[in-house]
Structure 1
Amino acid sequence: MQKVFSFGFWNFIASRILRNRIVIILILLGITVFLAFQWQHMKFSYSEANMLPDDAPINQQYAEFEDKFGSDGNAIMLATDDPDLFTPESFKAWAELADTLATFPEIESVIGIHNLQKLQKREDPKRFVMQPILDSDTITEEQITAYKESLFKDYPFYDGLIFNSETKTVQTVAYMKDSIVNAEGRKTFIMDKFVPLIDSFKEKNSLEIHVSGMPYIRTLNSQNIVDEIQWFVLSALLVTSFIFFFFFRSFRATLISMLTVIIGVMWAFGFLGLLGFEITVLTAVIPPLIIIIGIPNCIFLINKYQHEIKQHGNQAKSLQRVITKIGNATLMTNVTTASGFATFIFTQSELLKEFGILASINIIAIFILSLLIIPIIYSYMPPPQDKHLRHLGKQWIEGFVEWIVKMVKHRRVSIYFTSVAVLVLSIIGIFNIKVSGSLLEDMPQSAEFFKDIKFFEKKFDGVLPLEIMIDTKREKGVTKLSTLKKMDELKSEINEIEELSPPVSVVNLAKYAKQAFYNNNPKYYQLPTSQEQTFMSPYIKSMDELEGGLSSFIDSTGQYARMTMFMKDVTTEEITKIEQKLLPEIKKIFPKERYEVTLTGKALVYQKGTYYLVDNLIISLSLAILLIALFMAWMFRSFRMILISLIPNLLPLIMTAGMMGFIGIPIKPSTILVFSIAFGISVDDTIHFLAKYRQELKAHHWKIKQSVYPALRETTVSMFYTSIVLFFGFSVFMISSFGGTVALGGLVSATLLFAMLANLLLLPSLLLSLERSIANKKTMKKPQIQIIDTDDDEEEK
């Protein structure tokens, strides 16, 4: 009864598709036009990818920091170590560049060597005032030379902030307005105003200039993602169409398949706009992914159609059977693939949820498009000619099929030995896998802005902001000399950490105030004593009225202080070591009952998110395995068959993980997707093989050997075709300039190739070796649904 229902349902679907072709075409056209209009709502991510849930402690701590002090990633830096800077002509050009930058409404303030100011003591009334260090109106060579000598020697407050006295590198820092840093206006400003300004400066001046800062890095990185989407889509289309044509030798079949997946890509972009999801490094992968997954659907449908035409030549009957015979199996394989992606929906990461939702929706959409478009288009075309069917009997593919059958028949011991050896080696490799949450690691290393990052790491100890927020638990607690001494002690500990720049805080300002009190003598750049603090009290109070003043370092109540430093591009493991060094010192210096000290910043939030992703990888992969096991149980109603079907799909995942350990590819946000994606796709081969195997079992009265080999011969060709398409399709991602995307493409390609071999060699070998306990009539009960029907003519009577 279930079998009749399954066949009857798909027969009903087939008749409705073929009888309502015009209506279906109009509906698809209407949906496509509607989704095309949604493209205008597509938006790009203007903030760092936050993998953590909003209620995660590290997120709440960072939110509290932003509430007190604003964004920590709003600075754009222009730097040079060119000795020619300190000549009148070059210095004026450098100052004009900064002044022009300051005129933009998106910029809050600009500080550099051209406009540095010094604290100057005044007696009546007692106060500090700010005065320019250099009179920039009349710049002579003598002035510039004297200024250069004085700058690196007399103003330690600016050392590490505006210049590096050791490397003689100087920088201009432009602070963007907080309202624009994480908004669309940032991209417009950077790409349309800032970049042309820098390019113009480089053309007119011979000075070597380096640009960095989080707003600049994030914008150029996002632009690279946008630029790569079109190349991914075009490359995926080109590669898959070439492979498709190589297999089928038919321009007609190739063009029909390309049309199907192109519409799928249009829908993918439309769903992005419709759902309001941002284009990130993850969601940018989906359009080409739809091409790669959609082409195998086309291969199964067109291959079946051509087989039917070759068998009996009746076009109407062939199209009917394409839908009734392949529709069910293709639905199941697409559902399992979508399930692999859908498991990300159950994570608490908004980034992964959006990726999971979008990917699973589009995978089901490309299945529907394939099932509708291919039969309808072929129904309006004449039947394929003999030249279109020649590929069905190619000798080279027949040779591959016979090799597979020979291996399973005569070399099962070798297959088991190889599988066990691979498993052991892979487990060894897994213990070498490292976790990396580097914010910059996946960025295109050949890009100019990445080279500039390395320049800043060398000259200023990094560009990634890291913050320490100190809560003194009382108003004006920051300005207490005891607090300042503790902060200075912590600063000494931080200076010992090679990966961090010297911190900038109110301590620096307090030291500078003492230097100014002693007529700017640099030897007095140190914390005042308690007695000196009393004398300096009226001067220090006057600093609140100065522009910038204390507000950059402490909040309005004087209860909270910040210590800002920059961090080199380090791995998650390295930042953990940094925390292990710092946190005990912080606890020792700042007693918990009197202070609450928080380590925060964008870079730290990103790093913590990587560990969260690793935990979610285990959860999502376990869910994928459980979900697909339930599919197997529902389809085959055999617990033993669930176990045997999972083995050839889990082994490739373990093998890939081991390969990552040996090659040195770390677990990171980009590579973490490999396992769920590959598992969801590779299990399709298992479903196709087991469905055909059960059909052969019934036809051969439950004789195992007479069933495995026919099933293997019939499914090997389609499995080989689809695996090759998937292998080269995912290899397209290896053209990316993003290291993570390259690793994702290479790892998924390798995993799917391993999975194909495991399903063609290991799975049938296990069935043959364990025939008495697993593959018999008792365990292979009547399935809940009929994936492949047995006798065509009998069913249609």
Structure 2
Amino acid sequence: MTKLFTKDFWDITARIILRNKIIILVGIVLVTFLFSQKWDNMRLSSSEANLLPDDHEVNIVYNHFLETFGEEGNLIILGIKDSTLFNVKNLNAWNKLSLKFKAFDAVETVVSIKDLQKLIKDSENERFRLEPFIKDSIHSLEQISNLQNELFEKYPFYDNFLFNKETKTIRTAIYLKKDIVNTPIRKFFVNDSLIPLIDRFEKETHLDVRVSGMPYIRTLNAQNIVDEIGLFVFAALLVTSLIFFFFFRSFRATFISLIVVCIGVMWSLGIIGAFDYEISVLTALIPPLIIVIGIPNCIFLINKYQHEVKLHGNKVKSLQRVIAKVGNATLMTNVTTASGFATFILTESKLLKEFGVVASLSILSIFVLCLLIIPIIYSFLPFPKDRHLEHLNKRWIGGFVNWMERMVRHRRITIYITAVILLVVSIIGIYQIKISGSLIEDMPQESEFVNDIRFFEDEFNGIMPLEIMIDTKRKKGVMKLSTLKRMDELENLIIETPELSKPVSVVGLVKYSKQAYYNGKTKYYQLPTSQENSFILSYAKNSSSNVDLLKSFVDSTGQYARITTFMKDIGTDKMERIEENLQNKIDKVFPKEKYNVNMTGKALIFQKGTKYLVKNLAISLSLAIFLIALFMAYLFRSSRMIIISLIPNLLPLLITAGLMGYLGVPIKPSTILVFSIAFGISVDDTIHFLAKYRQELQANKWAIKVSVYGALRETGVSMFYTSIVLFFGFSVFTISSFGGTVALGALVSATLLFAMLSNLLLLPSLLLSLERNIANKEVLREPSINIIPEEEDDQNIEKLSDNM
């Protein structure tokens, strides 16, 4: 009954497509136009990708921090390490550059050497006042020498904030307004204001300015993502079309395929815009991904059409069989591929959900486009010439198929031994895989802004913010001397940690106040005693300048304080060790009944997000396997066939995981995608082979060996074609400047190559070796859906021809 339904469905589908060609083409043009109207909704992501669910504890803590102190990633840093900076002309130019940034609406404040203030004791009024280090402009080298002596030797409060006294590196801090950091205004400021001013300064002074900070890094990184979309699409089109032409030696077939995948790319971009999704490092991969997946669809359809034309010379009959036979099989394989991507929808990560939605819908869309456009265009074209069909007689392809058949026929033991050895070696490699939670590891490592990150790591121990928020559980609890001493003890541990920068907090300001109270003597840069605390704080309360400084470190109620430090780009292992050390110190120093202390910040969130994704990797992959197993159970109605079909598809995943361990490729958000993507695509070959195998069994009266070899010869060529296209198509991603994208492309390419060999060698070997238990008529019952229908009745073809 199901078989008849399937046959009737595809017969009806073929008639509808071939009888309504003009209407369908107009409909495709109209849908493409509507999708193009949604392209304006696409925009670059203005904030970092948050890999954690919104209700995750880490996100709740971070959002509480933002509510208390505002956006923490609003700092842009400029730095110079050059002795020639310390002359009158260059230092004045540096100060003027800093002054220019203050005029921009996007800037909240700028702190440079010119802005540094001395805290001076005013005994007469019992308060502190601020006095600038540079009252006007620099006039002499002597003035510069005095300035260096004061800054580098007498005021430790500013050390490692705006300068490194050991290397004489100078920085300027630009704080953007917190409400524009996650908006497009940030991009306009960086690209249209910041960079041009710095370029002009470098030309005038011949000084090399280093720039960093999260707003700057995010802007340039996002621009690289957009630039690579066009590069990937062009490269994918070029590579796949060259391979396609090499196989078919037909400009006509190549051009038709390019039309189909280009429309598919337009639809995928329209889907992103229709859902109002942002362009992230993942969604940027979808357009070229659609090209890579769409070309094999074109190969199946065009190859079948040309094969049918050569077989009987009836164009209408050939087009009808293309839709009915290959359309059905291609639908099944595209559904399994889409299922592999759709599993990401069920994760709690917004980034992966969006990727899963767009990718799965785009894959189904490219299937529909291939099924509609290719038969319709060929119905208008003249009968294929002999040169268009020459590729069907390629001897080297026949040689490859003959080699596979010889291996399966005579070397099955060799195949099994090789598979077992690869499995054992891969398992050993899997145990060597490391997890990476680095925020900048996947960024273009040769880019100037990544080199600048390394520069600031060397000079100031990092640029990635790590925040510690202290809740004293009572108003004005921060300024209690007991609280300050506890914070100071925690800061000492931070200072001793090489991967972290010198912390900035209210503790440093209080120490600076004591130093000022004792007329600037450096030895008094320390926390006051309980006796000193009362009259030093009385001076501070009378000073409006101190109140302004406190706003950055303490909330308006005096209940919450923050300790800000910056960390180097380190791996997950080191980060976990540092976090554990800090947490142990916090637990020891801050009693839980009196304080609530939390670590947060963008770097920590990313690291936690990576661990969260790794934990969900097994769930996501298991779900993909489960869904596809259910799908195959429905197709083949055999639990035994599920097991035998999963083995050749799981082995390539294990081999790839082992390679990652041996090659030092860590598990991270980009490489996590490899397994679900590769499994969803590789299982397509298994479905094609088993479907053809069942048909051969029925045609050969359940003669197993004849059927296996027949299926191998029939499907081997198309599986080889599509695997080569997919291999080189995914290899396109290795030209990326993003390390994660390179790893994704290389690993998926390798996995699909292993999957092809596994399905062409291991799968038929298993069928032959287990023929009594698995490959028999009782096990291979009538399928729920006949993927490859039987030959159609010629009377139906004649009816269709009369109506075209």
Q: Same fold (TM over 0.5)?
A: yes
2:702 maps to a residue whose letter is: W
What corresponds to 1:550 in structure 2? 550
State the identity %: 63
Residues 487/677 of structure 1: CA separation in 2 closer, same or farther (3 Å cut):
same
- Whether the 8 Å CA contact 2:46–2:182 is kept in 1: the answer is yes
1:454 maps to a residue whose letter is: R
What corresponds to 1:310 in structure 2? 310
In angstroms, what is the RMSD of aligned CA positions?
1.1
Deviation by residue 1:247-306 (Cα, 9 ceiling, x = unmatched): 000000000000000000011111111110110000000000000000000000000000
- Whether the 8 Å CA contact 2:114–2:132 is kept in 1: the answer is no
1:580 maps to a residue whose letter is: E
What corresponds to 2:453 in structure 1? 453
Quote how far apart the aligned CAs of 1:545 are: 5.0
Deviation by residue 1:711-759 (Cα, 9 ceiling, x = unmatched): 0001000000000000000000000000000000000000000000000
1:432 maps to a residue whose letter is: Q
Quote how far apart the aligned CAs of 1:795 are: 9.0
What corresponds to 2:757 in structure 1? 757
Query: Take 1:274 and 1:347, find their aligned partners in 2: how far apart are those partners?
Result: 21
What corresponds to 1:647 in structure 2? 647
What corresponds to 1:526 in structure 2? 526
Quote how far apart the aligned CAs of 1:498 are: 1.0
- Whether the 8 Å CA contact 1:84–1:90 is kept in 2: the answer is yes
Residue pairs, 1:505-654, within 5 angstroms: 505-544=505-544, 546=546, 548-654=548-654
- Whether the 8 Å CA contact 1:86–1:148 is kept in 2: the answer is no
Query: Take 1:544 and 1:15, find their aligned partners in 2: how far apart are those partners?
Result: 83
Residues 543/698 of structure 1: CA separation in 2 closer, same or farther (3 Å cut):
farther
Quote how far apart the aligned CAs of 1:161 are: 1.1
- Whether the 8 Å CA contact 1:71–1:178 is kept in 2: the answer is yes
Deviation by residue 1:551-602 (Cα, 9 ceiling, x = unmatched): 1111111111100000000111111111121111111111111111101101
Query: Take 1:474 and 1:129, find their aligned partners in 2: how far apart are those partners?
Result: 29
Residue pairs, 1:5-44, within 5 angstroms: 5-44=5-44
Deviates more, 1:132-141 or 1:300-309: 132-141
- Whether the 8 Å CA contact 2:76–2:212 is kept in 1: the answer is yes
Residue pairs, 1:389-428, within 5 angstroms: 389-428=389-428
- The DSSP-based 3-state class of the residue aligned with 1:670 is helix
What corresponds to 1:79 in structure 2? 79
Query: Take 1:109 and 1:740, find their aligned partners in 2: how far apart are those partners?
Result: 35
Query: Take 2:94 and 2:102, find their aligned partners in 1: how far apart are those partners?
Result: 13
Query: Take 2:544 and 2:583, find their aligned partners in 1: how far apart are those partners?
Result: 32
2:38 maps to a residue whose letter is: Q
- Whether the 8 Å CA contact 1:554–1:560 is kept in 2: the answer is yes
1:444 maps to a residue whose letter is: P
- Whether the 8 Å CA contact 1:38–1:274 is kept in 2: the answer is yes
Query: Take 2:16 and 2:790, find their aligned partners in 1: how far apart are those partners?
Result: 23
Quote how far apart the aligned CAs of 1:114 are: 1.8
1:674 maps to a residue whose letter is: V
1:608 maps to a residue whose letter is: K
1:737 maps to a residue whose letter is: S
- Whether the 8 Å CA contact 2:506–2:550 is kept in 1: the answer is yes
Query: Take 1:545 and 1:97, find their aligned partners in 2: how far apart are those partners?
Result: 25
Q: For this pair of structures, how many residues does the alignment match?
A: 797
2:765 maps to a residue whose letter is: S
Quote how far apart the aligned CAs of 1:2 are: 2.1
What corresponds to 1:378 in structure 2? 378
- Whether the 8 Å CA contact 2:437–2:606 is kept in 1: the answer is yes
1:487 maps to a residue whose letter is: M
Quote how far apart the aligned CAs of 1:543 are: 3.9
Deviation by residue 1:318-354 (Cα, 9 ceiling, x = unmatched): 1111000111100000000000000001111111100
Quote how far apart the aligned CAs of 1:793 are: 4.2
- Whether the 8 Å CA contact 1:682–1:752 is kept in 2: the answer is yes
Deviates more, 1:626-635 or 1:539-548: 539-548
Query: Take 1:362 and 1:453, find their aligned partners in 2: how far apart are those partners?
Result: 37
- Whether the 8 Å CA contact 2:268–2:362 is kept in 1: the answer is yes
Deviates more, 1:525-534 or 1:414-423: 525-534
Query: Take 2:282 and 2:528, find their aligned partners in 1: how far apart are those partners?
Result: 52
Quote how far apart the aligned CAs of 1:483 are: 0.8
Query: Take 1:616 and 1:755, find their aligned partners in 2: how far apart are those partners?
Result: 24
What corresponds to 2:135 in structure 1? 135
2:197 maps to a residue whose letter is: L
Residues 138/778 of structure 1: CA separation in 2 closer, same or farther (3 Å cut):
closer
- Whether the 8 Å CA contact 2:91–2:138 is kept in 1: the answer is no
- Whether the 8 Å CA contact 2:507–2:527 is kept in 1: the answer is yes
- The DSSP-based 3-state class of the residue aligned with 1:614 is helix
- Whether the 8 Å CA contact 1:108–1:177 is kept in 2: the answer is yes
- Whether the 8 Å CA contact 2:39–2:273 is kept in 1: the answer is yes
- Whether the 8 Å CA contact 1:544–1:550 is kept in 2: the answer is no
- Whether the 8 Å CA contact 2:433–2:661 is kept in 1: the answer is yes
Quote how far apart the aligned CAs of 1:136 are: 2.5
Quote how far apart the aligned CAs of 1:677 are: 0.2
- The DSSP-based 3-state class of the residue aligned with 1:548 is helix
Quote how far apart the aligned CAs of 1:548 are: 3.1
Quote how far apart the aligned CAs of 1:547 are: 6.6
Q: Give ranges in structure 2 of 5+ residues lacking alignment.
A: 798-804
What corresponds to 1:110 in structure 2? 110
Deviation by residue 1:217-274 (Cα, 9 ceiling, x = unmatched): 0100000000000000000000000000000000000000000000000111111111
What corresponds to 1:672 in structure 2? 672
What corresponds to 1:719 in structure 2? 719
Residues 393/281 of structure 1: CA separation in 2 closer, same or farther (3 Å cut):
same
Quote how far apart the aligned CAs of 1:169 are: 1.0
1:174 maps to a residue whose letter is: I
- Whether the 8 Å CA contact 2:648–2:762 is kept in 1: the answer is yes
Deviates more, 1:318-327 or 1:194-203: 194-203
- Whether the 8 Å CA contact 2:130–2:545 is kept in 1: the answer is no
Query: Take 1:129 and 1:359, find their aligned partners in 2: how far apart are those partners?
Result: 61
Quote how far apart the aligned CAs of 1:123 are: 2.6
- The DSSP-based 3-state class of the residue aligned with 1:211 is strand
What corresponds to 1:47 in structure 2? 47
Residues 450/469 of structure 1: CA separation in 2 closer, same or farther (3 Å cut):
same
2:299 maps to a residue whose letter is: I
Quote how far apart the aligned CAs of 1:617 are: 1.3
Quote how far apart the aligned CAs of 1:124 are: 3.3
What corresponds to 2:494 in structure 1? 494
Quote how far apart the aligned CAs of 1:794 are: 7.2
Deviates more, 1:487-496 or 1:350-359: 487-496
2:705 maps to a residue whose letter is: K
1:248 maps to a residue whose letter is: F
- Whether the 8 Å CA contact 2:92–2:138 is kept in 1: the answer is no
Report whether the alignment pairs 1:125 with 2:125: yes
Quote how far apart the aligned CAs of 1:188 are: 1.2
Report whether the alignment pairs 1:321 with 2:321: yes
